[in-house]
Amino acid sequence: MQFEVFTLLPEVFPSYLETSILKRARERGLIEVRIHNIRDYTHDKHRVTDDTPCGGGGGMVMKPEPVFEAVESVLEMSFDFSLKEHSASAPDGAIQTQVEVVSQTPIILLTPQGRVFDQTVAKELSQHKKIALICGRYEGVDERIREGLATDEISIGDYVLTGGELPALILIDAIARLLPDVLGDPTGAEDDSHAMGLLEYPHYTRPPEFRGGKVPDVLLSGDHAKIDKWRRERALERTYRKRPDMLERAGLTEMDRKFIESLRNP
Ligand code: ADE
């Protein structure tokens, strides 16, 4: 899967992308992350990427021209407000409609105004071959970037960061680990918190006793049916206590429901 990232701070990305699972995924060709400096798409002497807001007021706004140029150049597409449609040149020169471009490559603006990112959105985005991520900076981006270029807006939570760079890395990380072969253990992503709609069960490793804290006997019993049951119940219990809102959307069996009922009425 290919990630095209558009940013004014390209130096933020390498250290994280060159570490651990993402590094291995890149080396094995499972993901490709290309970082594009929006400033490279300016044409003036001072390479200006922001300007004062029309209508006055404080702060600076990201200018539309370099952002449009960067995305259009990398994705080989163009947008014109007077035509109100995206078009793209396919490798054979055929013109694609906006719908085709959109379905091929989501162009995501990272912004606190977007829909909130979660595991379901990560799964949805992981189905694409390529996604583009635009990192906003300053107080905001020119509205025409939202109207004419972005096909989606995503927030990583209800708080405001200084830019979209950390959100972009968060999306890349969460999406990459859902792709086939990225995690060493093939069941790795399935057991994650949120993947099953529940928080994850507790994990232990050796030693069996540490400063008086013991690994539960069942995990040392070798009885896999019992271990599975214990893990499922702990996941249900944790979710019930910490994130009861998640239970409504989790796929619960009749046995799960009975177990949760026993927590409600001990
Ligand atoms: N840019 C600034 N804050 C953000 C947030 N919460 N999510 C995504 N992009 C952002």
144 part of the active site: no
What pLDDT is attached to residue 67?
98
**pLDDT > 90? residue 98:** no
All domains of the chain in start order, with CATH: 2-176 (3.40.1280.10), 196-264 (1.10.1270.20)
At residue 111's C-alpha, the angle toward residues 122 and 63, to 5°, is 130
Residue 192 falls in the annotated catalytic set? yes
CA-nearest residue for atom 10, ligand 1, is 111
CA of 256 to the centre of ligand 1 (A): 36
What is the arithmetic mean of pLDDT over 31-43? 98
What's the predicted TM-score (pTM) here?
Answer: 0.90
| pLDDT value, residue 102 | 44
Q: Which atom of ligand 1 is the closest one to the Cα of 156?
A: 7
Bridge partners of 50? 62
Phi, psi dihedrals of residue 233, rounded to the nearest 5°:
-65, -40
Which single residue is written with the structure tokens 């096909």? 151
Q: Give yes or no: 112 in active site.
A: yes
pLDDT tens string 208-262: 999 999 999 999 999 999 999 999 999 999 999 999 999 999 999 999 999 999 9
Of the residues 39, 112, 233, 256, only one is catalytic, namely: 112
- Using a 6 Å CB cutoff, which residues line ligand 1? 110-112, 136, 155-157, 159-161, 163-164, 167
